Amino acid sequence: MPTFSSGRPPHTRHFSYAVALCLVVSLLFIVGCAPEPKGPALTLAPLPWARDALEPIISARTLSLHYGKHHAGYVIKANALIEKSRFKRKSVEKILSATRGKNKYEALYNNTAQAWNHAFFWGSLTPKGGARPAGPLAEAINREFNGWKGFRSAFIETALSHFGSGWVWLVKDKKTLRIITTSDADTPIAQGLTPLFTIDLWEHAYYLDYHNKRKVYVEGVFDGLAHWKKAEQRYRP
């Protein structure tokens, strides 16, 4: 049978293979020893609008306390706890998934989740609220909640039936839309769900403006501040 040759002596080919192998090993070593990214896991991003932009539904006074004290406090505490944990330099989503429900990491989970939830909440609000969703999200809402009126009623009822502090969410669960609440700091991002929209149900979110009138607050945010364009962007059929 005929034989084929690369045209190079065997010892040359062996030398080339050895050089290539050394290059691959060196590259793997460099990648493995690359310095970890520096900086905190969480940051307190600026609000996407002025602090008085949501008035009269949410006052500048409430936002100064809510964002400037509560949200900022969660970010500071979470970063301090993450820095001392084995989750240092992990993504926030991975940290939440790995620590949810584990007593050892309760404080780390609660502060990290609250920081994440608040950042998501600010992104769910707009001074130009009032419009309804459009496109695939609107179609899904109409299909699964029997129209906008049914969806609004279900969302507000779910928020008002929640006992104590927490959050009310519109989430995507695989291919289905669901309205859920989470207690205290819990977050759907750690449960394999895709959050689309939320309203904060902690008293610090509304007590200065509405005292114990949660219904007035929830309806005001839903009807006047909901950023449905952002929810549309988060939704993937």
pLDDT tens-digit series, residues 202-224: 999 999 999 999 999 999 999 99
If pLDDT is split at 50, 70 and 90, which confidence band does 7 have? Answer: low
The pLDDT value recorded for residue 29 is: 39
| pLDDT computed for residue 89 by the predictor | 87
Q: Could you read off the pLDDT of 26-82 as tens digits, one per residue?
A: 433 333 433 444 668 899 999 999 999 999 999 999 999 999 999 999 999 999 999
Arithmetic mean of pLDDT, 139-151: 97
Task: Scan for tokens 């403006």, then name that residue.
Answer: 209
Domains of the chain are 60-123 (1.10.287.990), 135-234 (3.55.40.20)
What pLDDT shows up at residue 26? 41
The neighbour count for residue 23, using CB atoms within 10 Å, is 10
Write 83-89 long-range contacts (CB < 8 A, 24+): 83/40, 88/36, 88/41, 89/36, 89/37, 89/41
The torsion region of residue 39 among left (phi > 0), alpha (psi -120 to 50) and beta comes to left
Residue 191 pLDDT level (bands cut at 50, 70, 90) = very high
Of 39-43, 116-120, 127-131, 150-154, the range with the lowest mean pLDDT is 39-43
> Does 1 have pLDDT greater than 70?
no
pLDDT > 70 in the chain, percent: 84
Quote the pLDDT of residue 27: 38
Are 136 and 209 a contacting pair, CB within 8 Å?
Answer: no
